[in-house]
Amino acid sequence: MRYGFGTQVMFHLNGKEYPAVILTQRSEGGYDIAFEPEHGKVEFTFCHENRLRRITTTMLQLLEKERTRAMKIAHASMEAHSQKQEAQKQAGNRLAFIEGELADECRILGNMISGGDALSHTLGETMIDRLEKEYFATTNT
């Protein structure tokens, strides 16, 4: 998982967790962060990703749940149209391709809802990552 500038995370240090903010990602791996070990005291340090934990808000969890539900509906529709297509093929109906087209559109719709693609899966991107980028990403314009 990659964290961008300004991402709020929890930083693990000596068995405790501290609120932190990502400042930069280094090319060799790891992050420069600012964290608050005591109220009102800010420190800067470098750390590796395994010492960071994403702070997931309730809103993100609800968005993820709703998006997952929509993907399941699209997948179920795709399966239903695929089965209808096969049944129509077996019956010799020349219009079976229409059900196949509907099944493919449902597949495309499911992919659009998920926001993922082959690259996002290769990078290990989760739905929460995609939701954060979609709803909370900041641009430097």
Question: Shortest CA distance to 71 belongs to which of 112, 103, 125?
Answer: 112
pTM over 0.75: no
Task: Report residue 111 as tokens.
Answer: 């992919």
pLDDT tens for the chain, residues 1 to 141: 577 777 788 898 888 988 888 898 888 888 999 888 888 888 899 998 888 887 777 778 888 889 989 999 999 999 999 999 999 999 999 899 999 999 999 999 988 888 776 666 667 777 877 887 777 665 544
78 and 50 Cβ atoms separated by less than 8 Å: no
Torsion of CA 66, 61, 26, 17, to 10 degrees: -170
CATH 2.40.30 fits 8-54, yes or no: no
Spatial distance between the Cα atoms of 97 and 85, rounded to a whole number of angstroms: 7
